[in-house]
Structure 1
């Protein structure tokens, strides 16, 4: 009788733990999705102007932010009437008060006279560094504005083509609605959009990564707990039947 009691106790404990695993898994899974939906907006990249960082057709997650949170180096989603009044994706290379110019003797972008290393300009992984711009330019960014360039500098339609407009090609910070954090498609795994360290030494530094990775782990971990907890019952019944058959044969 004591053996039966121990077995039943273990079974009840297993059922309680499996139920707890499913409950915690549901909280993590649904909570991760819900919080992600609040923080992030999905976008489809429309052009190759940000190649090779992101390419046309990539599905990306952009964190909803206020324009005041933008730092140099961020890849942002913005909408501005001068640029066609449609959402566009570009990289911020200058903020209010900056003097942005190109190129120095080594073909680099300069911000307030400081040359900026931009490793994301490497062409398609071939190891060939592009000049920061195929044409020279210089602009002073008005307060409260941002100067934006595409990573595919030879083809991008960006602040350089709006230099004669008011603001010397810059857009107001208020035009920004989100900052890219990750590429989720193609499915090569979750690829974070890194903050470039070339801007880190400038005043204000670079922005911190968003919470996309913790949210992804919460969703994946929650799914694993749900599946594991749900599988306990069928596996326990199979084990019980196997033990009864072994006892009957004995």
Structure 2
């Protein structure tokens, strides 16, 4: 194992065992069996070391996400993803606090990949006609709520961490970003312009029309995005 890997492993172990969620570079150097200047030569500063630790810690989590097989129900996949996120936070509280804290100043790559993976699930939800808001906006809503409830649970003593709270918040949030399924849709909940635009935009992203030029596809995508975000038309239904 090279020095970089040894340092990251040492920092990750110290972080997990720390009662305060803090690690010192001196302790990391000692555990890794290297001189402290080696850490700064390889990582630049402590923030970049911690960003590497977060990326390392989430690699297994993200690996499971990447390997997960898509089911026929993207909404069910969305719920499973929420629950996995909360469970990871409860199992790795120090790492999770580090990832969601205002610092370090260097954003870990894992955050970007988490958004990308969630966006992929939400694109499938949109293609199925079940997403009520634009996928990019839905990513922000779901991640913010999922992170918030996870942090709220971590702020409680272990014996008061009720996983049922996460599921309850999940359903409240999903009710705000999803459209009702066909079996539960009432006549008053017919397709609105924003919802139709969201679905069409997702379908076009997955299978862009070859008869359109790149410029035409970009213009159509812009129009559909604006329609999907236009709350003034949310009460208008699509009629033939």
Length-normalised TM-score, structure 2? 0.22
Bigger strand fraction? 1
Length-normalised TM-score, structure 1? 0.21
Bigger helix fraction? 2
Structure showing greater Rg: 1
Higher relative contact order (CA 8 A, sep 6+): 1
